[in-house]
Amino acid sequence: MNISISESHQKDIAHALHPYTNLDAHEQQGPLVISRGEGIYVWDDQGNKYLEGLGGLWCVSLGFSEHRLAQAAAAQFAALPYSHTFAHRSTEPVIELAEKLINMAPAPMTKAFFLNSGSEAIDAMIRFTWYYNNGRGLPKKKKIISRKRGYHGVTVAGGSLTAIPLMQNDFDLPLDRMLHTDTAGFYRYGLPGESEEDFATRLADSLEQLILTEGPDTVAAFVAEPVMGAGGVMTPPATYFEKIQAVLKKYDVLMVADEVICGFGRTGNMWGSQTYGIEPDMVTCAKQLSSGYLPISALMISDKVYDVLKEQSKKHGALGMGYTYGGHPVSCAVALETLKIYEERKIVEHVQQVAPQFQRRLAALGDSPIVGEARGVGLIGALELVADKNTKEQYPADMKVGAQLVARALALGLIVRALPGDVIGICPPLIITEAQINELFDSLDKAVRDTAVTLRAAA
């Protein structure tokens, strides 16, 4: 049935509830309806073309028209459209994907547990952590530490670790057992005259003090993104993870790497953990695992965690959790094909080749009078907008300067995202070329300049 664009938009306003959206404003302005994609570009229902500068939601690594993924899905649909992994049941895509992930993990892992989203992977990590420490006879060791401005999903438990006010305000979060330590963002939180190494030392000391204050016998795990994504694309300061992990080992606290955004080449290595020297006990991954084509995530666990889980399941008769669609054979088949493409086309090597141009163009925007810092690694980056470059003073929140810039970029055919604190997130598909990187930053540069002119005129 064909309906007009205006009728389609009205139906959306009438019936669809949009996440991370001002619901009142949506009733006035309506949706941006994306109709098709090709390569790193998408088109809306009015025929306007956009360079997708955020890869959907940090996830579409292979672009929007990878036919091999469509073919892998179709073949699996035809062979076996659904099965589950409860009670010893398995499928060939599950088996092959689990083997592949374990063999490519950033640290020695032994098992992969499949779920549907990064949020679910974090939720499972929390449950496994509690189950693990109960199995070790440590019933008080249950608290999970994340970092302020860290993003770890939106389940009730994961949302408690996502220490960003918008995601917690009036949702009655965080829950008990969830603690928050310092943000590893040197530009915004470093002290005058402090080096990155000194900043890292201060944050490690602060984490240790938090553990001591709470009681080491009550703290179970620390979870961190190698690069903080939705919280502002913050790269860790030099020596940060080295010093943090020393504290965790001292107090028998699990290190959990949340690789949902960083995994599969984004930082210039297959894993963000490899880029920053993280040796995790558990790893969450999602998003680029299937290039965003189908919902899938995984939680990988190490021997020391699995051995306890095995004894616990023996004690209780079974591992008492699972998801109807976890390990869905079609999602697993698409993820497996995605990983094959990464290898065959040397996607990580491609990122390493084009990332210098991406980072050069990104850094050049740091000269703008409204950009306090341009930061990033690999093919992920951000601009932090400020009212005063010398003092790092931010614009009043009600000015929504980040949203203004994003709107200008959209009018120029570029999709980027405004993050909390007037930070502009950039995360294009990994297949982007140097010419397309220049196209992206030519548009972003104009959006920055136009926004600066408007702000000067309003001053």
Which pLDDT tens digit goes with each residue over 44-99? 999 999 999 999 999 999 999 999 999 999 999 999 999 999 999 999 999 999 99
Residue 271: C-alpha distances to residues 19, 289, 295, 353 (Å):
28, 11, 20, 17
The pair phi, psi for residue 420, each rounded to 5°, is: -55, 140
| pLDDT band at residue 329 under the 50/70/90 scheme | very high
Name which residue leads in pLDDT, 96 or 459.
96
Closest CA to 156 of 113, 120, 182: 120
Q: Give the integer Cα–Cα distance in Å for 32 and 46.
A: 10
The per-residue pLDDT for 380 is 98
Q: What is the DSSP letter of 288?
A: G
In the predicted structure, residue 388 carries a pLDDT above the cut 70 = yes
| CB contact burial 308-323 (16+ within 10 A = b; e otherwise) | bbeebeeeeeebeebb
How far is CA 194 from each of CA 67, 190, 191, 361, rounded to the nearest angstrom?
50, 6, 5, 27
Which CA distances in Å does 166 have to 154, 208, 335, 399? 11, 27, 32, 17
Closest among 413, 417, 452, 418 to 436, alpha carbons compared = 413
* CA 290 – CA 331 distance, rounded (Å): 7
Lowest-confidence pick of 9-13, 144-148, 256-260, 375-379: 9-13
- Give the architecture (CATH level 2) of 69-344: 3-Layer(aba) Sandwich (3.40)
Whether the predicted pLDDT of 1 surpasses 70: no
Residue 197 has pLDDT above 90, yes or no: yes
Q: Give the number of C-alpha atoms closer than 13 A to the C-alpha of residue 151, restricted to the C-beta side.
A: 18
pLDDT for residue 5 is more than 90 = no
The pLDDT confidence band at residue 123, using thresholds 50, 70 and 90, is: very high
Closest among 351, 390, 352 to 61, alpha carbons compared: 351
Give start-end residues of each CATH 3.40.640.10 domain in the chain: 69-344
DSSP single-letter state for residue 421: T
- At 2 the pLDDT is 63
pLDDT at 21 over 70: yes
Collapse the DSSP code of 434 into the 3-class scheme (helix H, G, I; strand E, B; otherwise coil) and give the result.
helix
Q: Which helix (H) or strand (E) holds 313?
A: helix 303-316
Please give the average per-residue pLDDT across 434-445, as a whole number.
98
Phi, psi torsion values for 202, nearest 5 degrees: -60, -40
Domain with CATH 3.90.1150.10 in the chain: 32-65+346-458
User: Residue 39: which of 382, 417, 419, 433 has the closest Cα?
Assistant: 433
Rounded Cα–Cα distance for residues 442 and 437 (Å): 8
Q: Mean of the pLDDT values across residues 259-284? A: 98
Q: Are 135 and 308 in contact (CB under 8 A)?
A: yes
CATH of domain 32-65+346-458: 3.90.1150.10
Please list, in sequence order, all residues whose beta carbon lies within 8 angstroms of the beta carbon of residue 180, skipping any fewer than 6 positions away. Answer: 145, 146, 147, 148, 150, 163, 174
Q: In what order do the strands lie in the sheet with 297-301?
A: 111-115, 297-301, 282-285, 254-258, 219-224, 143-147, 178-181
Average pLDDT, the chain: 97
Query: Phi-psi bin for 378: left (phi > 0), alpha (psi -120 to 50), beta?
Result: left
- How many angstroms separate the Cα of 74 from the Cα of each of 71, 81, 93, 245, 336? 5, 9, 14, 44, 14
Percent of the chain at pLDDT above 70? Answer: 99
Contact 305, 132 (CB under 8 A): yes
Q: What is the mean pLDDT of residues 403-408?
A: 98
Whether pLDDT at 3 is above 80? no
Q: Residue range 260-265: average pLDDT? A: 98
Q: Where would I find the H helices in 16-144?
A: 23-29, 55-58, 67-79, 92-104, 118-135
pLDDT band at 6 (very low <50, low <70, confident <90, very high): confident
Predicted confidence band of residue 458 (pLDDT cuts 50, 70, 90) = confident
3-state secondary structure of 4: coil
pLDDT number for residue 459: 74
- Report the alpha-carbon distance of residue 86 to residue 16 in Å, rounded: 33
| 116 has a pLDDT exceeding 70 | yes
Sign of the CA dihedral running 228, 229, 235, 239:
positive
